[in-house]
Structure 1
Amino acid sequence: MASPAPAAAPVAPVFVSYHLDNTLGALCIGTLYGVTTVQMYMYFQEWKSDARMMKLTMAFLWLLETLHQIMVTHGLYTYAVTDYGNPQTLLIALWSVLGITTLSATIELIVRSVFCFRLWRLVNKNVFMVAPMFLLSLLEFGGGITFTAKGAQCDGQYALFKDFSWVVYVSLGSGVVADIGIASLQSWMLWHRRTGIKRTDSIVRLLVAYSINTGLLTSLCAVACFLAFATMNDNFVYISFYHMLPKLLLNSLLATLNARQHLRKVDDPLSLPMQASRARSTRQPFSSPTVSNNDKVVLEERNEAAIRSGTDWQTLAIRVETHQDTKFDPEI
């Protein structure tokens, strides 16, 4: 009687060296959807007078941002809940993770196009001054689509992303140069439009600060993504920065648009009273000047009898009031 075959030795499970901090934890970073929604709500409440195309553009951007947040949530839920306990799934990019690249590039292109349009109006519609920034934005958009296509060709294997890392470098580099160019040109144009009036120049300085912050914040985030991908492409740290890029750009645009309400509340009417002395004959001392409350020149002349009786004086009272008449560009 043959002896029973020995039982096969259990196969040791394959473990992947990973840490939740720089994988799933990184995906949790960069969710600014609530801030974006609040700012969008403020925009549509305060700026109903904006052009229809502008309002449609902002509504479309919010829809894209909502879709962006849905795809980020799908990827995080799949990795953390559906495939819980299976770390090998972290080696493959989901369709939603790959799709985020194209969606982010689309949002950034639209936002930068709005910035370029406003800058085009600021430089007196000089196309040649704005064209380089717009072309760089198109280059970044093309890089996002290319990255998604190449990622799908390699079945989303993160380890193979380094084979087309040049796409990431070109795309992120173009975005950084475009943001810096837009902020620099806009700041330069605004700075040279100072009038010498204290209140007006303070508004110009505030607009320059908004422009610098817009370009600086997004540029730093893109550089951080660039460096993280170059040094740590075996985890998701660079993805967290990449997720924040379109959100930062959109929130920068919304902050600039909503700040107009604060700038337009400037109300400093100039009241310049001009006092006129009461002139009389040499027989009477000078009396104190009088300012009328009327907004016109009042000239009172006493009759000859009053002059002969020793009260020969004239009263000239002038009050000058300026009324502020301001015209605003709805696109700024």
Structure 2
Amino acid sequence: MVSPLAPTYGIWLTSMWLATILYGMGLLQTWLYFHWYSQDHWGVRMTVICLIVFETLQITFFFGATYAALINNFGDFPALFVITWVDSAQLLAGYLSAFTVQMYFAYCLYLLNKKHKIVTVLIMALALTQIGAGVAQTIKTTILGSFLTIDSTKQITSLQSASALACDLVITVALYQTLKSKKNGLKDTNTLLQKLMINAINRGALTAVAAAINLTLFLALPGTFYFFLGLMTSSKLYMNSMLATLNTRQHIMRATQSSDHAWNSIHLAGLSTASSETGTQMVTRLNRDGTELAGIESGIMKPNFVENMI
């Protein structure tokens, strides 16, 4: 016999299980990041710290809400559907986490292609819409105070999910097109960019699917918590996608080594000024602390900053 709580707290527990697994993966990736890339720009490191703080708060509040509902209120069925401040806090933390990652990639795109600022502005607008709708949804659900009336937030929830989905799609397409435009006559550079393009697609697909699941199930199955499968895992997917992008840099560089080069990193900012004509070449050298510098054959050498960003 299926429990009448299966579509609600059964899905709730399933979502918490998935979110906890993804959070554990994120913690491992965070440790690896600070272990491998301790020399990264302070802005990147602070972004990672903020991200892990938001995710830790989210999973902690999520567990606290679960404990209150299933242990403190055991047997009290009406209390199961009461929305407390803990429920609202974990929801807001997840939205802040997504917003942090979206703004991070918006900044990456700005650095990679400063001439086309309209894409960056669009991403920022969608990210602000997402977090704005998320805050409004959090406030409204807190005022409602009951999961039984959560369907009345359909418009705000749809706006939040749709803007998150659109933002992820724009980021993915923009990253793909920007990296594709940097291709030139160098085989190693083109191979590296191809791998980065694949990573960009994979990153965007995960978070976009989570946003689509959240929106679809919320609208298609009212009165249930099936939408939690997308909602509660989305912020963890954001965290893991950003950290995976940062942590796979060395692997991608090593995978694109040639007999004439031994690259650990590449200055993507230099690619933005490089000509795609045959004969244009990238030159690299290693500084004392092992951080690679890159420039164009003109002799202008710049610090490897963007490599720390993507």
Aligned-partner Cα distance in 2 for 1:66–1:125? 37
What does 1:170-209 correspond to in 2, within 5 Å? 170-209=159-198
Question: Is 2:253 the partner of 1:264?
Answer: yes
Structure 1 pair 154–88 and aligned structure 2 pair: CA distance change class (3 A): same
The residue that corresponds to 1:22 in the other structure is 11
1:37 to 11, 22, 27: 27
Work out the CA distance in 2 between the residues paired with 1:260 and 1:139: 31
Alignment of 1:76 onto 2:54: no
> Is contact 1:65-1:107 (8 Å) kept?
yes
The structure with the greater share of residues assigned to helix is 2
In the alignment, residue 139 of structure 1 is paired with which amino acid? T
Deviation of residue 23 (structure 1)?
Answer: 4.2
Q: 1:138-217 counterparts in 2 under 5 A?
A: 138-155=128-145, 157-217=146-206
Which residue number in structure 2 is paired with residue 250 of structure 1? 239
Residue 108 of structure 1 is matched in structure 2 by 98
Deviation of the 1:65 alpha carbon: 1.0
1:41/1:24 CA distance change after superposition, 3 Å: closer
Partner residue, 1:227 = 216
SS in 1 for 2:5: coil
Q: What is the RMSD computed on CA atoms of the aligned residues? A: 2.1
TM-score, scaled to structure 2: 0.80
Greater length-normalized contact order (CA 8 Å, ≥ 6 residues apart): 2
- Which of 65, 84, 88 lines up with 1:94 in the alignment? 84
Question: Superposition pairs for residues 271-282 of structure 1, below 5 Å?
Answer: none
- How far apart, CA to CA, are the structure 1 residues paired with 2:11 and 2:113? 44
* Kept after mapping to 2: 8 A contact 1:101/1:147: no
Q: Which residue of 1 is the match for residue 54 of structure 2?
A: 64
One-letter amino acid matched to 1:18? L
- How far 1:194 sits from its partner (Å)? 1.3
Note if 1:238 corresponds to 2:263: no
Unaligned runs of 5+ in 1: 1-15, 272-322
Equivalent residue letter for 2:309 = E
Q: Structure 1 residue 141: deviation in Å?
A: 0.2
Distance 2:17 2:69 in 1: 12
TM-score normalized with structure 1 length: 0.75
Secondary structure of residue in 2 paired with 1:246: helix
CA distance in 2, matches of 1:23, 1:89: 15
Question: What amino acid does structure 2 have at the position aligned with 1:116?
Answer: A
Q: Hey, what does 1:47 align to over in structure 2?
A: 37
